[in-house]
Amino acid sequence: MTHLSMDQLLAVRDGDRSEPHFGEAHVHVLACAACRQEVDSLHQRTARLRAMPMLAPSRDHFGAISARWRTAVRQRRMRTLSTVGVAAAAMLLLSVVGTDLLQPPALDAEQQLATSITRSQELEAELHEWNPEQRIVDGRTAQLVIVIENRIADVDGRLQDAARLEQQARLERQVELWRERVGLMNALVDVHVTKASNVDL
């Protein structure tokens, strides 16, 4: 004897006679003890499953988790905006006053002039202490000394001419010429000290 398939057993359990072979299964169960026992086992299994308690979480945590997530996202966004704002403010500050903060204030023309005159006088005093006239120098050194002294004399002449200019133009010209004079004085001192070595004119 052929026994029922699982589909036919389930149809018998559920009282399903929608298909011809399901109807035949109902008739078969009445005559077959083994298939009838399988149908009874299915009924018992279904009953046990229905008798089991429903498993459900004691509390719905989705709302709390969702709220915490939204708060974290909002705080992260605020931190990002705050960082960007601070960076933007710093860039604005540097663009407005950056040159004053990062560089010392430039001396005005009068201060530059006074500084150059003082330095020139210091170099002349240093040269006087060196007393180059009492020292023996070679021909190249002597030639360089003459060239530098002539250029200093030329600068002094141009300084006298600059004294006749208008105030602002005079000041700017004097600053330029005194700087040139300081450079020449430095060169002159170097020539006497190094005897014309490494002097580039």
141-146 contact pairs (CB < 8 A, 24+): 141/191, 141/192, 141/195, 141/196, 144/191, 144/196, 144/199, 144/201, 145/188, 145/191, 145/192
Is the per-residue pLDDT at 57 higher than 60? no
70-96 pLDDT per residue, tens: 888 888 887 777 676 666 666 665 565
Q: Is residue 157 part of a domain?
A: yes
Q: Is residue 102 part of a domain?
A: no
Residues 6+ away with beta carbon under 8 Å from 18: 11
93-129 pLDDT per residue, tens: 556 555 444 554 445 788 888 888 898 888 888 877 7
Q: Is residue 147 part of a domain?
A: yes
Q: Is residue 37 part of a domain?
A: yes
Count of helices and strands (H, E) across the chain: 7, 0
3-state secondary structure of 106: coil
Q: Is residue 78 part of a domain?
A: no
pLDDT at residue 95 in the model: 61
- 149/133 Cα distance (integer angstroms): 13
Residues 6+ away with beta carbon under 8 Å from 123: 182, 185, 186, 188, 189
- 86/181 Cα distance (integer angstroms): 49
Q: Is residue 74 part of a domain?
A: no
Residues spanned by the domain of 179: 109-194
134-169 pLDDT per residue, tens: 666 667 777 887 888 889 889 888 888 888 888 888
35-47 pLDDT per residue, tens: 889 888 888 887 7
Please give the average per-residue pLDDT across 3-24, as a whole number: 83
Q: Is residue 156 part of a domain?
A: yes
The structural domain count of the chain equals 2
Q: Is residue 18 part of a domain?
A: yes
Give 3-state DSSP helix, strand, coil % of the chain, rounded to 5. Answer: 80, 0, 20
